[in-house]
Amino acid sequence: MVAKVLGSHNPFNSVSATIGALRSLKDPSLVIKLRTKASEIEQTEENQIQQEEEKAS
């Protein structure tokens, strides 16, 4: 992992900040659901189902 340390270069603070940042990461699919409207999610799911059906045939 590459990071820029702001402020102190104390190794403990750097590790603590890195762990805190990693814990705050969210699953991309969850973020997409939070940012899109319900109707857009339904359309996306329908498109995925259609694509899977096309691949299966």
1-57 pLDDT, tens digit per residue, is: 555 666 667 888 888 888 888 898 988 888 887 887 767 667 777 888 888 888 887
Handedness of CA 37, 33, 3, 21 (dihedral sign): positive
Q: Is the pTM of this model over 0.75?
A: no
| Spatial CA neighbour of 34 closest among 25, 22, 26, 23 | 26
Contact 23, 14 (CB under 8 A): no
